[in-house]
Amino acid sequence: MEKTALLIKKYDRLISKHPGKWVAISDEGKVIATSEDIHKLTQRIKQLNDVLVAYSPTPSEKKIGYLLQTRTTT
């Protein structure tokens, strides 16, 4: 199975351990950084490649739907 597919399978388990935080996950499927502030997290990981960043909602936030917009530079 491709690395991305394996990471997606681990995704829910990994982020559920960090409710209310932004989580950076390496392409090996390890949590490499967490923060309550997305800007602080991106500063910590900006030199890294192949990192998945996701928000882990709290139990009360899981009851609400969200739509997040991402930006990429080309």
DSSP readout, the chain? --HHHHHHHHHHHHHTTSTTEEEEE-TTS-EEEEES-HHHHHHHHTT-SS-EEEEE--TTGGGS----------
pLDDT on residue 70: 62
pLDDT on residue 64: 77
Asked whether residue 73 is assigned to any structural domain, the reply reads no
The domain in which residue 11 lies consists of 3-63
Q: How many domains does the chain have?
A: 1
pLDDT on residue 18: 95
pLDDT on residue 9: 73
pLDDT on residue 62: 81
In angstroms, the CA 71 to CA 15 distance is: 21
Asked whether residue 70 is assigned to any structural domain, the reply reads no
What are the residue ranges in the chain where pLDDT is below 50? none
